[in-house]
Every structure is written in structure tokens, then in C-alpha cells.
Chain A
Amino acid sequence: MSPRNDMPLLELRHVSLRLDGRQVLRDVELALLPGEIHALLGANGSGKSSLAYLVMGCGGYRPEHGELLFGGKSIAELPIHERARLGISLAWQEPARFEGLTVAEYLSLGSPKRNAAECLDRVGLPSGEYLARMVDKALSGGERKRIELAALLALGPKLAILDEPTAGVDMLSLGEIIAVVESLRETGSAVLLITHQEELAAHADRASQLCGGRIVFGGPPEEVVAHYKARLCRRCDGETCHD
């Protein structure tokens, strides 16, 4: 049964995460509706990427407490590929390189809904030039990140997690990345957008601020950005939200 539009696609209920004895997420409550773009802001080390890995199901990232629901069902025990088959996918902040795998092959992994060439062009990489290239060390960091975004566009998941999509990419590319986010929206994907970039966060429907592993503020993106920039957090056990 497909979820109703007012029923969260992704829901974290009182989720805590501990890694190597360190409390990384604390009592996190977060809900994304289908098709919603939700920006997650926070300083370095606040737990944003950990939250992304936890939702994706990466190794070691299992909730210590709380519930992790997708389409109303618990996914906490599912391995990554089963979560992917439910419709969750992740564009990594620092994507892996692969010897012997072409960009065309990379973009055809899974069950892509969109044409690889079209998706490459969409992220500003001419398909005629890039489809036959390898997803290996010969690509620059920026090229590799754009390919990661193109892969997500091709896949068209129900939930796309973008982990710092602008990090390591030149400023001129911001418009293309915003276009990718909008394109995901048009095709019905919900997006969990992890970013420091105010201009990018402004394209979200809602936003949350993560600080010290807690969601400390949520609401319209402009309010959350203002809160984040003004260091207005007072829920961090007396510590500064971010430096």
C-alpha cells in the first residue's frame, strides 16, 4: 500500500546513535513528507552525515534507540540494498571511485528511470564526453560529485539524500545543483538536503538544524538559516551551536 501524502515518507522517532562510544545523534525527531525537500543544516561534526548514513543503513550506523520508519514501516534492520530497493538512495559527500566502471555503466546501476545522457547534461557534464569515461581517479572531485548527482537523477528514488552536494564543487555550479534538486522535486522524489549553503537551503520546503547530535530548530528554511547564522541555539547543554 502506498503511503498517503500526509503520511511521512521518512520518519525518525527519538533516534539515538552511538559510534565508537561517542553519542553522535540524540533523540532525533524528523519527518519528511513524500516529495518534500528538507534541508538539514548544522556545523561540522553536528551529526548531519551520520544521520544520512543511518537512514541509508551504512555499516555500523544502527539506531541505539528509537524508530526509523520509511513508508510507515521500520527499516532499522534492513541492509542498504533493501532500503535502496524500497526507494532510498544517497549521493555521497566524497563519492567512491571505481576502476573499470564507465560513467554510462555507473548511471545504469539499479533500475534507472531516466536516460543517463540526459542526466549528465543536466549536471553540466556533456554526455558525449563523459559517458565512456571511467568513474576513477582521473576525474576531478567536482566531476565525480556531479556524476553522483546525475546517478541519483537517473535513479529517481522516492527519497534522495544529498550529502553536502556543493562541497568541493565550484561556485558557478550552484545553479546546476539547485536545478538537480528542483528536477528531483519535479519527478516526485523527496530530498533530504544536507548543506551549509544558504542559497541551496532556500530551495527547501522545510529545514532543520542539527547541533550536537540534536535537532534544535525546525521550520521554514529562511528561519532555520537565520537561526543557524545567528547562533541562536540554546539547547546544546550550554555549548555553542557552531563555530
Chain B
Amino acid sequence: MTDLEQLYQALRMIGEDPGLILSGDNAHVVAYGHQIVSRQSIPGVSVTAQTTEQGIEAKIVIAEGRQVEQPIHLCFGLFERFGVQNVVLDLVMEANAQATLWSHCLFSVPDVARHAMQAVIRVGPGAELRYQEAHYHGASGGMEVVPRARVELERGARLFSDFSLVTGLVGKLDVDFDVNVGEDAVAELTSKVFGHGMDRIRLKERLVLAGRNARGLIKSRVAVEDDASAEVIGITEGNAAGARGHVDCTEIIRDRGMVSASPVVKVTHPEAKVTHEAAIGSVDRQQMETLMARGLAPEEAVYRIVGGLLR
């Protein structure tokens, strides 16, 4: 099977239609390894992508006022046992643009591989970006995933980001997102990760509520089992009048798993307010007993609870 066929198959396995993604109606960048399979601009969405010595460099610009109806797709994959994929992404949303961006990261094949993403994202005044990044891993446990993002939300901009890695073994994950939230802007970062085996997870997300009335939420949902471990750091800084932030970490551990959660709140303006909540523990007993009282066996109940948390 060729790499392209494997890519198509992987997309079908996650419920996506490769024909639709690669159609002329959808803006997209599709790459395996450092090879760009397809890139597509559409009116109002400029997509450029090239292979460099370091990896892939892509730039997406969504024009001012453009409301992009269909999701913009980024598909990245590796279909060999060993490999490296470095991606540098520059995403610009001009004023009052609206778009949804789906990033599919398909790494079910490699035994040992590294995927690194360096993203710089600017969401212009009044613009709204819905960003979903979903990883699909295999059973090797040899993946290393290193996503980095620096995000700037300008006045009245909105960002809703959803990162998930709940399929397969994580391997090693090291997330570092840093978002500067301007006046009247809103940022919601949600991360969901399920670690098994010897997985090592580090999630570091930082929101700086820099502008007046900036609002932000960091929500993490992490479950670990076997010998997996996770370190979750959610930092929110309230630096302006009317800034409101919240950090919400819920983590479940089973077996010999280990999690640390550090919701860090820092306020430098007397009219800002940042709150946090963190809960780490085994699966909640009353939740378990409630589901078991419906006839679910203990393992089914755990599956339901953890699955729901990571949904």
C-alpha cells in the first residue's frame, strides 16, 4: 500500500472522507512525513505550504470578514515504522473572520517517531477560530509528540481550542500552549488525554488575560492507567480590569498511574479575578455504583466514566 493509500485509509478509519477533504471546495494541507500531498486555497483562505530542510512550513491566512463555512483541514501523518515530522504553522485570521480548523494527526503506524509542531497564531479583532486537534496513535508507545503554540487574540477575538489524544498509546506528549488574550477577547482551551502503559504526558497551557474584560478558561481532562504518568500545568494570569479566568483540571488515575495537576493563578490587577479547581483521584465511587446499579460490570462502568470525561 502506498503512503497516500495509507493516509486515505487512516482518514476513513477516523470517520473522515478523504475525497471530501481533498476536494476543491475545502482549504487544506495534507502531508505525510515531510512530503506535502495536497494543499488547497479557496476564496478568502490562502494556503501555502512547502517542504524545507527542517520540515514543513505552512501559512494560512483567512481574509478579513470571511466566514469560512467548511472546516479547514490539516492532515499530518507518518506511515513508516520510524520517522520525524516537523511542522511550522503560521495562521493568521484577519479582522472579523470566522473559521473552524481541524487538525488530524495520524500516527497509528510508527514504532518510534517524533511529531513536532511550532504554531504561531494571530486572531485579529472580532475574529473567531475554532481549532480541534485530534491525535490517533497506535499501540507502539514510541511516538513523541511536541506541539507548541503561541497565540495572540486581539480585541474581541475568540478562540475555542480542543486538543485530544485518547486513541492508542500516547508515548511521550509535551504540550506547551501560550495564549495572550486581548481586550474583550475570549479563549477556551480544552485538553483530553488518556495515558496507558508507560506513557508520559505533560500539558502546559498558559492564558495571559492582558486586555480589559478578557476572559479565559483552561479545562483539562486526563486519565492515566497502568504505569502512565501526567503532569498538568494550567496557568492563568489576570492582568487587566474585568479580566475573568478559570482553570478546571479533572484527572483520573488507575493502577499505578500518577498525575500531578498544578493550576496556577496569578492576578496583577485588583479588578481581575481568576479561580481554579482541581480534582485528582481514582474513578468516583458513587459514579461507579450508580452505573453498576444499572447492571454495568465494573470495567464497563470505568469505561463509561473515563470515556465520558474524555469525550
B221 touches A89 (CB 8 A): no
In the complex, whether B295 has a CB less than 8 A from a CB of chain A is yes
Chain A residues with Cβ below 8 Å from B287 are 96, 98
In this complex, the member of B287, B289, B301 whose beta carbon has the largest number of chain A beta carbons within 10 angstroms is B289
Q: Chain A, 74-104, contact with B by CB distance < 8 Å: what is the 0/1 string?
A: 0000011101110011101001101111000
Shortest beta-carbon distance from A75 to chain B in Å: 13
Residues of A within 8 A of B250 (CB): 99
**Least Cβ distance of A113 to chain B in Å?**
12
- Say yes or no: B291 contacts A100, CB within 8 Å: no
| B163-220 interface (Cβ within 8 A of A) | none
| B297 CB contacts on chain A under 8 angstroms | 81
In chain A, positions 94-127 with a C-beta closer than 8 Å to chain B are 95-96, 98-101, 109-111
Tell me how many residues of A have a C-beta within 8 Å of chain B: 24
Cβ-closest chain B residue relative to A95: B290
Verify if B43 is at the interface (C-beta below 8 Å from A): no
Given the complex, which residues of A lie within 8 Å of B298, measured CB to CB?
A: 79, 81
Q: Which residues of B contact A58 (CB under 8 A)?
A: 289
A110-B295 Cα distance, complex, nearest whole Å: 5
Number of B residues, CB within 8 Å of A = 24
Chain B residues near A80 (CB-CB < 8 A): 289, 292-293
Docked CA distance A99–B305 (Å): 8
> Is B2's beta carbon under 8 Å from chain A?
no
Q: Is B308 an interface residue, CB under 8 A from the partner?
A: yes
A117-156 residues at the B interface, CB under 8 angstroms: 151, 155
B42 interface contact, C-beta 8 A: no
Closest residue to B286 on the A side, CB-wise? A96
CB distance from B309 to the nearest CB of A (A): 5
In the complex, B307 has a CB within 8 A of chain A: yes
Q: Give CA–CA (A92, B292) in the complex, Å.
A: 13
B274-311 contacts to A, CB under 8 A, are: 284-287, 289-298, 301, 304-305, 307-311
**Given A81-B298, A96-B287: A56 touches B308 (CB 8 Å cut-off):** no
Closest to B311 in A: A100
Q: How far is the CA of A58 from the CA of B293 in the complex (A)?
A: 9
Query: Is A84's CB under 8 angstroms from B295's CB?
Result: yes
Given A98-B305, A99-B221, A56 and B293 contact (CB-CB distance below 8 Å):
yes
Residues of A within 8 A of B308 (CB): 98-101
State in angstroms the CA–CA spacing of A96 and B283 once bound together: 12
CB distance from B137 to the nearest CB of A (A): 20
Q: How far is the CA of A98 from the CA of B301 in the complex (A)?
A: 11
| Contact A89 B293, beta carbon cutoff 8 Å | yes
Say yes or no for A59: interface residue by CB 8 A criterion: yes
Closest to A112 in B: B294
> A98–B250 Cα gap in the complex (Å)?
12
A90-B310 Cα distance, complex, nearest whole Å? 27
Q: Given A59-B285, A99-B221: A92 and B290 within 8 A (CB)?
A: yes
Instruction: Write the A145-170 contact mask toward B (1 if CB under 8 angstroms, else 0).
Output: 00000010001000000000000000
Q: In the complex the two chains form, what is the Cα distance from A155 to B285 in whole Å?
A: 21
Q: Could you mark each residue 213-253 of chain B with 1 if its beta carbon is under 8 Å from any beta carbon of chain A, else 0?
A: 00000000100000000000000000000000000001000
Inter-chain contacts of B304 with A (CB < 8 A) = 98, 101, 109
Query: B300: nearest residue on chain A (CB-CB)?
Result: A81
State A132–B147 Cα separation when bound (angstroms).
33
Determine the chain B residues whose CB is within 8 A of the CB of A155 once the complex forms.
Answer: 294
Residue from B291, B295, B307, B310 having most chain A Cβ neighbours under 10 A? B295
* Chain B residues within an 8 Å CB radius of A83: 293
Q: How far is the CB of A151 from chain B (nearest CB, A)?
A: 7
Residue of chain B at shortest CB distance from A108: B294
Q: Are B289 and A59 interface neighbours, CB within 8 A? A: yes
Contact between B290 and A84, CB atoms less than 8 A apart? no
Query: Do A84 and B285 contact each other (CB < 8 Å), given the known contacts A100-B309, A100-B310?
Result: no
Q: How far is the CA of A79 from the CA of B298 in the complex (A)?
A: 9
Chain B residues near A151 (CB-CB < 8 A): 294
Shortest 8 CB-CB contacts between residues of A and residues of B: A100-B308, A100-B311, A110-B294, A80-B292, A110-B295, A109-B294, A84-B295, A81-B292
**Chain A interface (Cβ < 8 Å from any Cβ of B):** 56, 58-59, 79-81, 83-85, 88-90, 92, 95-96, 98-101, 109-111, 151, 155
Pairs across A and B, CB under 8 Å, 5 listed: A79-B292, A84-B294, A89-B294, A90-B293, A98-B287
Additional 15 contacts, C-beta under 8 A, given A96-B284, A98-B304, A110-B294: A56-B289, A58-B289, A79-B298, A80-B292, A83-B293, A84-B292, A84-B295, A92-B286, A92-B290, A96-B286, A99-B250, A100-B310, A100-B311, A101-B308, A109-B294
